[in-house]
Each structure stands twice: as C-alpha cells, then as structure tokens.
Structure 1
Amino acid sequence: MAVRTRREVRRGRSRALLGGAQGRAQRPRAQPGAPAAPPAPSPPGDPRPSRCPPPPPPAVSPPPLAVPARWGHPGAEPDAGARGPAVAAVAPGTRSRRWRRGHEDDVPQGTRTTSPRAGLPGASRREMTAILERLSTLSLSGQQLSRLPRLLEDGLPKMPCTVQEAEVPQLFREPYIHAGYRPTGQDWRYYFLSLFQKHNEVVNVWTHLLAALAVLLRFKTFVEAEQLPVDAWSLPLFVFVLSSVTYLTCSLLAHLLQSKSELSHYTFYFVDYVGVSIYQYGSALAHFYYSSDQAWYDKFWLFFLPAAAFCGWLSCAGCCYAKYRYRRPYPIMRKMCQVIPAGLAFVLDISPVAHRVVVCHLGGCEEDAAWYHTYQILFFLISAYFFSCPVPEKYFPGSCDIVGHAHQIFHTFLAICTLSQLEAICLDYKNRQEIFLKRHGPFSIYLSCVSFFGLVACSALTAYVLRCRIKASLAKKDS
C-alpha cells in the first residue's frame, strides 16, 4: 500500500472541498410553491437510506500560503527536507515591517525593494535603523517637553484669571499699571498657587525667592569650605545671613499674598517693612565687625550700633505710618516718609564700607572684598532710583503690566546688591580675623547680637499697633 505524503493529503482535502462547493453551486434551487423534488437515489452499495442527505464533508481549512524564511523569491519551492517546521501564513507582498527588518540581509541581489536602505550593507542598514529610532525618540521627548508648561498648568487647580485695573479696589492699583491684577476675596490657596500664574506681581515674587535661595546656597558652600564654627567670631555673619533671608522672605510674601483683602494688604506690607529694618541692622553689624577700617572705627565705634538700631526702627515706623496715613493717589509726603528714614539708615549702615572703598581706590585697590563692596553700593543706588521713580511704565503706560515696571527692576538690583554684599562680607571674614580679635571681645559681640533681636521686637510691635488701627478703621468703614 502506497504511503501518501502530507502534501498529497492536503491536496486531496482541497479537491474535496472544491468539489463540494461546485456541487452546491450547480444544484437548482427550489422555487416557492413548487413541489419538492424527490430525493436522489442512493448509489449501489450504499447502506444508508436514500431519504437521508449525504453527510457534509469535514470542515478543513485550506492550507495557508507559507512564507519561507530563506527563499529568495515567493514562488520558489524548496526541497522536502529544507522546509522545516511550518511558518506563519502571510500573503505575498504583505510582510510586516518587523519581518522586513529581520530579513533584509537575506534578499538576493537583483531583487527589487522599496527600502531606502537597500543599497547599504547589512550592518550599515542596521546602524541606520538604530539611529533613526533614536532620533524619533528624541523628537518625541522634545514634543513632550514643549507640552510640559501646558501639562503643569492643566495639573494645577483652575484659578480665576487676572482682571483689569477698574475691577479691583483703589488700594490695590499701581500707577500706570492697567492689567494683570489678581481678584480679591479668593481663598488662600489661590494666592499661594498664583506663584505659578502670570500677573503683575509674579516677577517681584520670583526675584526675591530666587535671591533667598541663592543666599542660602552660597552661605552653605562657604560654611562647608571654611568649616565655619558657631562662636563669637562667626555670630555677626550668621545674623547677617538671617537678616538677608528674612527681608527677602517677607518681601516675597507681601507681593504674593497682599491681594487677599484690604487688611491682608496692610498686614503683609507691614511685615515687609519689618523685614527691611531687620536687614538694615544685620548689615550694620556685619559692616561694623568685619569691614570697617581702623581710622573709621576709632571715630564712630561708640555710637554706630545704637544709631543703626534706631534708624532701622525709624525706617520701619516711617514706612508703616506712610502706609497707614495716606491713600491712593499717594501724595509726595508719603514717599518722603518712606525714603528719608530708609535713606538715613542706609547712609549710616554703609558708612564703614564707603570709607574703606574710597581709601582703597585712592591707594590703588587690590582687595577683592573692596570691589564687591563697590558693586554693592552701585547696585543699591540703582535700585533706589527705580524705587523712587516709576520708570519706564510712566512713559509706556499699559506696556509694562506683567514684566518691566520699576518695582521689578528695583527688586532685581536689590537682590544683586545683597549677593555682592554677602560675597564681600565672607571675604572680610576670612581675611580680617586679626583685626577683629584686636578690637572686640565676646561680651560686646553677644550684646550687639541680643540688641538685634530687640530691634526685631520693637519693629514688630510698631507694625502690630498700626495694623490694629487699620483693622479698626476698616471695620468702621464696613459697618
């Protein structure tokens, strides 16, 4: 008996299926209402009754068209021993991209292909494919980064939009600033999250926030490099850094949260003025102990620190009173109540540094610290000009609402002034220890640092008293 191969079995099944389909197609269909045709007689030798229809052939799926893995042409037939196991059934011309990438090296020469890399060697094609995949990944990453601000904005809670000048009370309006105001009466979360919103105070907040972080990072680096101990010699330096971070923090809180209500406006600006007085006295301590020359010290050592403490308190009291006393549009007296006490405090606090800078430059200055003190004075004078004059928004009203008005420039130069001052004081701390030890004892240093916290208490008490008066007047107005 001959043994049928697998191929012959499959071909026989295919013929059986094809014959059954042709027979069903040639069989006439019964017309509606016509008598049923008699059943076909059974072939001789068939044991089944003639009334039973023939059993349907077994359902066998047609053999798939096998795509060989190593053939050069779709129509080529391998020998029986080279076929190996069955492969996936794919119609010719519809091979997947993954299959083409894995078998491009097996296409015989002369075979037509549409791949732009077909003319390259196999290794080069694989390298080009890897490079293109990496470039597509980078392109996707770039698109995701470009959408990052929008994703962050969508991730934050929905916040009210900024409003025009006419939609906020008169207290919150700034001269020549027409838009970008935050609405009043919102919850506290809105004003904290407005740190990431575009409004006319956001630059004021970020300039001093970044400056405070820069001061902390620079001082941390200095402490680690010098192995700074906590003793009488380093205590004025710690007090100065504390005062710098305090005034920057109070300033950013004032500009971030003052739009909550009228009482919040007064409260946080009073806190800002307290921070300014703290910074003034902290600077006076550092200049007195680390930066003063002997000639200046011999003349002013007795009354410098008490006068600096009084001027610091006077600066806070003058600014708080001007805020309490005058309403918008502000008269010139308000600016004088702010500028004159703050100017006196600055002149007194900077006097040891100014004397040293002048003497150094007259004798051919070679000290790095003296140059940093020079930058400090220069940046402070520039910032004072922009604090006093509404430039450039006065000449371009409505064009500097979000970025570019005078108070933002004032903040920027004041932050640079503080960083220059910190660098100069750190250099003086390193290079002038012998002068310090000859002048001062531990008791005088501890006493002056205790007086620093006394100034903090006096300034805070003054601001609190004026806040209570503001609160009473607002309550009377509302009733």
Structure 2
Amino acid sequence: MPRRLQPRSAGTKGPPGTTAAASEAASRPHALASGDSPASAKPLLRWDEVPDDFVECFILSGYRRLPCTAQECLASVLKPTNETLNFWTHFIPLLLFLSKFCRLFFLSGRDVPFHHPWLLPLWCYASGVLLTFAMSCTAHVFSCLSLRLRAAFFYLDYASISYYGFGSTVAYYYYLLPGLSLLDARVMTPYVQQRLGWHVDCTGLIAAYRALVLPVAFVLAVACTVACCKSRTDWCSYPFALRTFVFVMPLSMACPIMLESWLFDLRGENPTLFVHFYRRYFWLVVAAFFNVSKIPERIQPGLFDIIGHSHQLFHIFTFLSIYDQVYYVEEGLRQFLKEPPDAPTFLGTVGYMLLLVVCLGLVIKKFLNNAEFCSKK
C-alpha cells in the first residue's frame, strides 16, 4: 500500500503551476470529509482523505466521511461502501442463529422447558453467539460516528468475541465433556490398541481439566480482550496477527474433544461430533488465513475495496465455523438430556457470564479513559 500522505490544511496550495481552480478542486474532498458539504453531496473518500485510524490495509477507496450521523450510518448499509458487506456478512448469520436458537429453546418439542437448569449452558452459549454477531454489525455500521466511538465499538466487538469464547467453554464443560469416552480404554482406536499397545489413563487429566477449565477460560477471555484492545495502539506492528493469535487461545478449551478423536474411536462412537468438530476447525484456519494475509486485496490493491476483500471472507468463514459448532453443541445437549448428570447451577453458568461482563466492561472503560488508546488518527 502506498505510504500514508499528510492531509492538507485549509491554506495548502497545489503543486507549483496549478491554478486556483485546480487547488480548490483538490481540496474539495477534504471539505466534504469535514461535513461542510450539503447533505446531498457526500461522496465516498479515498484512503488519504480519512484519519489514519480509518485506513484498512490495501483498501484504497470506499471510505465513509467522518463524522457521520447515526441516520447516515444506517443508510450506508444499503450503499456500496467498503463496510457494507462487512455488515451483511454478519447480520444475515445473526438472523439465522436467532432463528436457530428460538427453535432450540421454544419449538424443539422437548419436555424440558426453556427455563430449566439443564438449558442454562445453552443460554450462555447462545447469548455469546448472538452477542458477537450483533456487536460486529454495530461496530461496522457506526464506526464513523467519531474516532472515540469507533474505538469504543471495536473494543466492545473484541469483548463480545471473548464472551462468546467463554460461553462455548461453558457448553463444552456441561454437554460434551461428560459424554466423551476418555476413561474407557475399550473404545481406543485400533491403531493405538494394536500397534502401540498404549494404556492411557486419563482420570487425573480429566479431573484437573474439570477443576480448572472454567477459571482458566475466564482469565483467557479477559486477557484476550486486553491484548486486542492494545492492538489498536501505535506500537503494535501486526495487529491482525495478534488478534488472530489471542483468539486461538480459548479454542484450546476443546482439547478433550481433540484428544478423544486422536486416541479413541470418536468417528465410530459419535460421527456427528467428529465431522462438525473438525470441519469447524478447518473453517477457522481458513478464516485466520484471510484475516492475517489480507489476501486478495494485498495482491491487487483497490480492486476489492467494495466486494471480496479479506475481512468479508473472514466473516463468512467465521460464520461457517460457528454454524458447525452449533450442531455439535446441540448433539452434546441431546446426549446430555438422555442421562443428565448433576444439573448445572446458576452460579456455575450465568453467574460466571455476568462476572465476565463486569470484568470486560472495566477493561473497556480503562482503555477509553486512557488517551493513548484513542489518539491514533
């Protein structure tokens, strides 16, 4: 991408030899950006006509002006800007997941009512999925209200992803872990049984996991939010790589499922879980690739400004990964309801989520109150 140009001041003249009319024409986009133009003339801006914090790598055009009103932000979702498909690639999945969870809670035909304690982990998980898509839509639509509000919306976006990651761990803990056969050596894969002759005793490891998984996931959720908020500062040279890495960390909470698939016959015992689990991680790898590489706009800057740039592809593959995750969480719920162990407690599910909301709120407040983290222009 070309080097960032310095914005012109009001009295800056054009290059030597330019006429007054040419200088006026050259400065007109900046007048539009500052809000001096009539409401009917609000063209999209190029990368060198907006503050640095708005500039996306290799995206040269399609930027909305700053500041916009809330009405203008909402109207922009129907216009071709470089944020339009960022909104729709998460708003449509939000509606799909809202419909899915409504069917699970209210139209599933189960004897368990929607407020039963057995469904508390599903409520935690569903709230995380819906919140992360809703916050992503909000951040992309209203990011041009002001620089401070842009930072606030994206901080909330990072916090919602951490909230979703922790909600996923709660669902794993109650619905998937009890149904795994990690303690039954009779269902080990033939390769492990015959070739290696291993005798695996996972009792201690599983007990440690059960005791530590929720506290560790809680700490990781807060730490990931702090790291991603810091990635918006000037000192961070590789913000997209950092954000991708820190959100891979909570995915390690699914390690018992991974262990089950390596050492035990998960494909034979639970093919639904096996297929959806590994397909989910394939989608996540693809999403991470686009988020870090900035392909295809890196190859041809300017060609994919409106349609087809990496963040839109990142959104699509993230949706596919969560789509698969919902299916194997639902399968875990079915197995859980057949022979439910001890009922989940309110403090062990919703209580944890509420405490996390408080902690994430304090993190965002700290960053917004620190001028260093809102000064990037």
Q: Map of 1:372-387 to 2, 5 A cutoff?
A: 372-387=276-291
Q: How far apart are 1:159 and its partner, in Å?
A: 7.0
Distance of 1:408 and 1:365 partners within structure 2: 36
Q: Does 1:457 align with 2:358?
A: yes
| Cross-structure match for 1:283 | 168
Write the letter of the residue equivalent to 1:291: L
TM-score under structure 2 length normalisation: 0.76
Q: Does 1:466 align with 2:367?
A: yes
| Cross-structure match for 1:344 | 249
Distance of 1:451 and 1:468 partners within structure 2: 26
Q: Give the direction of change, closer, same or farther, for the CA distance of 1:278–1:363 in structure 2 (3 Å limit).
A: closer
Distance of 1:200 and 1:380 partners within structure 2: 23
Q: How far apart are 1:336 and its partner, in Å?
A: 5.4
Per-residue Cα deviation, 1:294-337 (whole angstroms, up to 9, x for no partner):
537444100011001110111111101221x326xx513x4454
Which secondary structure state, in structure 1, belongs to the residue aligned with residue 57 of structure 2? coil
TM-score under structure 1 length normalisation: 0.61
Q: Does 1:267 align with 2:176?
A: no
Distance of 1:269 and 1:235 partners within structure 2: 28
Q: How many residues align?
A: 312
Q: Tell whether the 8 Å contact from 1:376 to 1:421 is kept in structure 2 after alignment.
A: yes
Distance of 1:369 and 1:472 partners within structure 2: 42
Q: Does 1:355 align with 2:259?
A: yes
Q: Does 1:412 align with 2:316?
A: yes
Q: Tell whether the 8 Å contact from 1:179 to 1:398 is kept in structure 2 after alignment.
A: yes
Q: Give the direction of change, closer, same or farther, for the CA distance of 1:219–1:266 in structure 2 (3 Å limit).
A: same
| Cross-structure match for 1:236 | 121
Per-residue Cα deviation, 1:23-45 (whole angstroms, up to 9, x for no partner):
xxxxxxxxxxxxxxxxxxxxxxx
Distance of 2:132 and 2:310 partners within structure 1: 19
Distance of 2:302 and 2:52 partners within structure 1: 17
Q: Tell whether the 8 Å contact from 1:159 to 1:190 is kept in structure 2 after alignment.
A: no
| Cross-structure match for 1:371 | 275
| Cross-structure match for 1:143 | none
Q: Give the direction of change, closer, same or farther, for the CA distance of 1:158–1:237 in structure 2 (3 Å limit).
A: farther
Q: Tell whether the 8 Å contact from 1:291 to 1:425 is kept in structure 2 after alignment.
A: yes
TM-align CA RMSD: 2.4
| Cross-structure match for 2:14 | none
Q: How far apart are 1:354 and its partner, in Å?
A: 2.4
Q: Tell whether the 8 Å contact from 1:250 to 1:271 is kept in structure 2 after alignment.
A: yes
Q: Give the direction of change, closer, same or farther, for the CA distance of 1:472–1:277 in structure 2 (3 Å limit).
A: closer
Q: Tell whether the 8 Å contact from 1:239 to 1:282 is kept in structure 2 after alignment.
A: yes
Per-residue Cα deviation, 1:125-179 (whole angstroms, up to 9, x for no partner):
xxxxxxxxxxxxxxxxxxxxxxxxxxxxxxxx95723121121111101111111
Q: Tell whether the 8 Å contact from 1:356 to 1:370 is kept in structure 2 after alignment.
A: no
Which secondary structure state, in structure 1, belongs to the residue aligned with residue 117 of structure 2? coil
Distance of 1:354 and 1:172 partners within structure 2: 39
Write the letter of the residue equivalent to 2:51: P
Q: Tell whether the 8 Å contact from 1:162 to 1:182 is kept in structure 2 after alignment.
A: yes
| Cross-structure match for 1:130 | none
Q: How far apart are 1:416 and its partner, in Å?
A: 1.2
| Cross-structure match for 1:307 | 216
Distance of 1:409 and 1:365 partners within structure 2: 34
> Is there any run of 5+ residues in structure 2 with no aligned partner, and where?
1-38, 183-201
Write the letter of the residue equivalent to 2:215: P
Greater RCO structure (CA 8 Å; 6+ sep)? 2
Distance of 1:251 and 1:359 partners within structure 2: 38
Q: How far apart are 1:283 and its partner, in Å?
A: 0.6
Q: Give the direction of change, closer, same or farther, for the CA distance of 1:448–1:396 in structure 2 (3 Å limit).
A: same
Instruction: Select which of 209, 219, 237 maps to 1:331.
Output: 237
Instruction: Select which of 52, 57, 66 maps to 1:170.
Output: 52
Per-residue Cα deviation, 1:419-459 (whole angstroms, up to 9, x for no partner):
1111211121112335541xx3444x532330111111101
Q: Map of 1:17-28 to 2, 5 A cutoff?
A: none
Q: Give the direction of change, closer, same or farther, for the CA distance of 1:225–1:335 in structure 2 (3 Å limit).
A: closer
Larger radius of gyration: 1
Q: Give the direction of change, closer, same or farther, for the CA distance of 1:454–1:387 in structure 2 (3 Å limit).
A: same
| Cross-structure match for 2:6 | none
Q: Map of 1:45-444 to 2, 5 A cutoff?
A: 160-223=42-105, 224-227=107-110, 228-229=112-113, 230-292=115-177, 293-295=180-182, 297-323=206-232, 325-326=233-234, 331-332=237-238, 334-335=239-240, 337-347=242-252, 349-359=253-263, 364=268, 366-434=270-338, 436-437=340-341, 440-443=342-345
Percent identity between the aligned chains? 22
Per-residue Cα deviation, 1:353-381 (whole angstroms, up to 9, x for no partner):
32344456565355323322222221112
Which secondary structure state, in structure 1, belongs to the residue aligned with residue 82 of structure 2? coil
